[in-house]
Chains A and B, each alone.
Chain A
Amino acid sequence: MLLSPALAISAVLFTLGVAGVLLRRNAIVIFMCVELMLNAVNLTFVALAQSLGLGGQVFVFFVMAVAAAEAAVGLAIILAVYRHKQSVSLQNMNLLKDG
């Protein structure tokens, strides 16, 4: 019933998240695209939970907890980098690059 459209929408959302990560240079926007990918996976979990049992919905709970932790730590890292470089563009984060 709703499984096939849900998986299709989830596939498109995940692809848009990947495209955003490849397309942008702003670290915060890339972070938002990662959240988009996590949400696409959540949609898959909920859609499959309808026919495979409620463990899927429990797992969405854990994905949300990890996403919240990731957002807090990641944004703190971006804040710390901004203090050093005055920029959040990934082009300026090249300390490990040779030359």
Chain B
Amino acid sequence: MTLTFFWIFGVIAMGSALLCITRKNPIGSALWLVVTLFALAALFVLLDAQFIAVLQVLVYAGAIMVLFLFVIMLLNLGRPGPTDIKGPVGVLVATVLAGALLLQLRVLSQATLPPGIQLPAGTISALQQQQGMVGSVANPLFAAYLVPFEIASVLLLAAIVGAVVLAKRKL
């Protein structure tokens, strides 16, 4: 049952990603990407990562895609015009290179994990039962990964300042 739903949402994600890269209109591309992100959030729920799924909807489908749509509409790129998809040679090159990459990644995805590095079955779900869905992510985040967390906050501050400096006409 879980596997069936997993494949349903996986096919939705892959199909809308394909539509996203083939739509001529950038707004169509952005909206199909939102569908992909929602399907990925559903996959995260099926993979027992409920907190990450909520973050995916809030941060990606909410904040980041609104930023993309805002810029597309600000620059008025939605109007009909010549397509930006490359010609037959470009399509051929993209297909061949992407096919080669897919073959390599397919081999990787068939690899199995050595049993020595795997946690015993049920460890993660027991941890999530004990500490809660948010707590089980927050505990390592604020203990083992505290320094990267602080660095991420500095990165976001630099991004805010950089975006203002780059987008403003005159400081």
A positions within 8 Å CB-CB of B? 1-20, 22-26, 28-29, 31-33, 35-36, 39, 42-43, 46-55, 57-58, 60-62, 64-73, 75-80, 82-83, 88-89
Interface of A is mostly: helix
Min distance, Cβ B74 to any Cβ of chain A, angstroms? 8
B55 & A61 in contact (Cβ 8 Å cutoff): yes
The answer to whether A89 and B97 touch (CB under 8 A), given A35-B33, A39-B36, is: no
Distance from A17 Cβ to chain B, minimum over Cβ atoms (Å): 7
Query: Are B75 and A88 in contact, CB atoms less than 8 angstroms apart?
Result: yes
Question: For B37, what are the chain A residues with a Cβ–Cβ distance below 8 Å?
Answer: 39
| Least Cβ–Cβ distance between A40 and chain B, in angstroms | 9
The answer to whether the Cβ of B129 comes within 8 Å of any Cβ in the partner chain is no
By beta carbon, the residue of chain B nearest A11 is B105
Q: How far is the CA of A51 from the CA of B47 in the complex (A)?
A: 11
Contact A57–B156 (Cβ < 8 Å): no
Query: B118 near A51 (CB under 8 angstroms)?
Result: yes
Contacts of B159 in A (CB 8 A): 68-70, 72-73
Instruction: Please report whether the interface of chain B is mostly helix, strand, loop or mixed according to DSSP.
Output: helix
**Given A8-B109, A22-B93, A52 and B117 touching (CB < 8 A)?**
yes
| A-B interface, 4 closest residue pairs, ranked by CB to CB distance from nearest | A20-B21, A7-B109, A69-B159, A11-B105
Q: Are the C-beta atoms of B155 and A69 separated by less than 8 Å?
A: yes
C-alpha spacing A25/B127, complex, angstroms: 47
B171 within 8 A of A: no
CA separation between A26 and B85, bound complex, in Å? 8
Quick one: given A11-B108, A35-B60, are A2 and B84 in contact (CB under 8 Å)?
no
Produce 1/0 per residue, B53-72, CB < 8 A to A.
00110011001100110011
* A73 and B163 contacting across the interface, CB-CB below 8 Å: yes
Across-interface contacts of B109 in A (CB, < 8 A)? 4, 7-8, 10-11
Q: A29-B29, A71-B68, A76-B162 are in contact. Are A64 and B59 (CB under 8 A)?
A: yes
Other than the given A5-B3, A42-B40, A62-B152, 6 more pairs (CB < 8 A) read: A2-B3, A7-B108, A9-B14, A26-B26, A32-B68, A68-B63
